[in-house]
Amino acid sequence: MRRPATLVKAVVFDFGYTLISEDRVWGAIAAQHGWPMSVFFATLGTVIERRGHHRDVFELLGAAKPYEPVAFEPRDFYKDALPSVRALKGRSCVVGIAGNMRAEIERFLSRHVDVDFIASSERWGVEKPDPDFFARIVAAAKAPPEDIATSATGSTMTSCLPRRRECSPCISSAAPGPRSSRAGRRRGRRR
């Protein structure tokens, strides 16, 4: 017997290219090494497609030194990100942000976004796609996995935290960033 569909109780956003554009930061890091942005982003895209770690880019491009971190700024948020998060909070959803990021980014987010929890892989000591990362999200969201919607870009996150009614009334009009269903419609493509 099928379980009746339920409303999403929690929404967990990834950080980069979901709530915030990383282009400026990655561009500055590429410039530190003297790499053209096109080469850097092509290599980063390949690493992501292979489900590698972003640090692999530096090895593939033969970085002679580690990069100096570049701080995110409020201008890096997608224009619809913060209104979307506020809309979800207004609908009584538990809202969180969790991703493979430094604790410094977690602190930046806590100054600019009102959510129920923010979690960096650095603070948790575990990264996606490790199942422990997803178990921590479930614990932080205080909801069963089937009641947690995610904006993760990889299939691992969504398979570990399955969506209920993919765009439930809780999130259908409040998904920010370039991968949102609204962004796809703006560009004339169906998502």
* pLDDT tens-digit map of 115-162: 999 999 999 999 988 889 989 999 999 998 888 888 754 333 344 544
The answer to whether residue 67 sits within a structural domain is no
- The pLDDT of residue 189 is 37
Measured CA to CA, the distance from residue 31 to residue 92 in angstroms comes to: 43
Q: Given 3-state DSSP classes, what are the helix, strand and coil percentages for the chain, each rounded to the nearest 5? A: 45, 10, 45
Do 135 and 86 fall into the same domain? yes
Looking at residue 80, its amino acid is: D
Task: State the residue range of the domain holding 52.
Answer: 23-60
The pLDDT value recorded for residue 178 is: 55
β-pairing verdict for 94-99 and 117-120: parallel
At residue 141, the pLDDT reads 94
CA distance 178 to 148: 21
27-45 per-position pLDDT tens digit: 999 999 999 999 999 999 9
16 and 28 within one domain: no
Residues 38 and 85 in one domain: no
Q: Does 36 sit behind a cis peptide bond, omega within 30 degrees of 0 on the bond before it?
A: no
**Domain membership flag for residue 148:** yes
Residue with tokens 């930061």: 25
At residue 158, the pLDDT reads: 40
What's the total number of domains in the chain? 2
64, burial (CB in 10 Å: exposed 0-12, middle 13-18, buried 19+):
exposed
> 46 or 187: whose pLDDT is higher?
46
Question: Higher model confidence: residue 79 or residue 173?
Answer: 79
Residues 50 and 100 in one domain: no
Q: What is the dihedral of CA 159, 84, 136, 47, to 10 degrees?
A: 60
- What average pLDDT is seen over the chain? 81
**Cα-based angle 97, 102, 107 (whole degrees, multiple of 5):** 60
Q: SS3 of 57, please?
A: helix
Q: What global pTM score does this model have?
A: 0.77
Q: Are 148 and 7 in contact (CB under 8 A)?
A: no
Residue 179 has pLDDT above 70, yes or no: no
The alpha carbons of the chain give a radius of gyration, in whole angstroms, of 17
Q: Are 166 and 180 in contact (CB under 8 A)?
A: no
Tokens of 41: 């982003």
Q: Is residue 89 part of a domain?
A: yes
Q: Which of 4-8, 46-50, 69-73 bottoms out in mean pLDDT, i.e. has the lowest?
A: 4-8
Better-predicted residue by pLDDT, 146 or 25? 25
